[in-house]
Each structure stands twice: as C-alpha cells, then as structure tokens.
Amino acid sequence: MEGLLHAFSFGLTYVFVIVLALVLLLNIPGLPANWLVLVLVGIWQFVHPQPGNLDVWFWVMAVGLAILGEVLETGVQLIKARRHGSSKLGTFAGMVGAFVGAIIFAPFLLGIGALLGALFGAWLGCLLAELVRGRPMQQSLDAAFGTMVGRFLGTVCKCGVGGAIVAIVARRIWPEMSPAMPLPDMPAAVPAEPGQVVIWLGHLFC
C-alpha cells in the first residue's frame, strides 16, 4: 500500500510540473504567467497533504524571481525600442499589438503562432503609431524593428525566469525515492581445485 501511495504521489507531482511548464507559454502574449505559476503552487501547498519543502525562504526567492522577470521584460523592451527611436506611443502600441497578435495567431503552428503573432503585432502596432504621428517611413520602420526585437528579448528573459521558478518548485516538491530493498546475501563462491580447472579448460578447447 505504501508503494502504491508513493507511485501516485510521484505521478501527481510529475503532471503538476508539466502543467506549470505549459502555463509559462502564457508569457508569450504578455500575460502574467510567472505569477500564475506561483498561484498554482500556493494551491498545491494548501491542498496537498505532503506539499514538499515550500518554506518561507522559497516564497521569498520565488516572488523575487517573478518581480525580476517583470522588470527584465519591461526594461528590455523599453531600452531596445528607445535605442531605435521609438516614441512612448509607438512602444505602447507595440505592446498592445503584441498581445493582440499572439491571441489571433495562437491556434496556428502548435502554439508557435503565438510567438510569431506577438512579434508581428509588436512590429505592426509600433509602425502604425509612428506613421500616425507623422514620422518618415524609414524612421517608423526602424522604430518598429526595435520594438519587435525588444519584445522578443523581453519575452525570452521572462520565460527564462519562469523556467527557473518551475525548476525550483520541482526540486522542492518532488517526492523522495523509497530506499532500495536490501539484496539477499549471496553464498560465497567455492574456489575450484587446480585439477578441476585443468579438466574444465580441456573440455572447453577440445
């Protein structure tokens, strides 16, 4: 019975970690996926009889990583967009366009369409916003490119931080393996007499 409960706990933990990894994909359209991961971990800790080593220091570290992910995502997008001359309106329009594009293209290419849609939406949103402001086409294209690259790098940073959170969670909640069963004592080998060895070799090669 104990082995059955251990196998069930292992399977449940395995499925839960996979769910957390899939939730990270919500970072692509700009949703707070890392925070949703922490909410699910909190539910796990509340309902699971053996939640694992989810102590105060774990939550301090996890929340700190989630905040770091938000800072990196926003900071990288803003820095890259500004370096390419994007205005505040263009950057904001790029963020909105990335969200809309990710939602529209999410059903395509097994989810990869969400990433491509986010990048295209960021580029198109910024481009249209800069053109509406009356900027020349070349400057608008350069600003849109910077916004698109910033969106990509920011998403990569945020997903990387989310992956670190999921890895820490998996390490903390993974059930301990049951101790291995002791092997039965094997009888000691009886040394063969020299004559028996010679006879055995003779049968082998003759």
Kindly report, residue by residue over 48-73, the tens digit of the pLDDT: 766 667 888 889 999 999 999 999 98
For the chain, domain boundaries? 2-176
Tell me what pLDDT residue 3 has: 52
> What is the pLDDT, as a whole number, of residue 35?
94
Residue 178 clears pLDDT 50, i.e. is over it:
no
- pLDDT score at 80: 84
Residues 102, 115: Cα–Cα separation, whole Å: 6
Q: Distance between CA 118 and CA 29 in Å, rounded?
A: 6
Nearest one of 174, 172, 167 to 20, comparing CA atoms: 167
Query: What is the model's pLDDT at position 38?
Result: 94
pTM across the whole model: 0.72
pLDDT of residue 68: 93
CB proximity list for 72: less than 8 A, separation 6 or greater? 154, 157, 158, 161
DSSP designation for 177: P
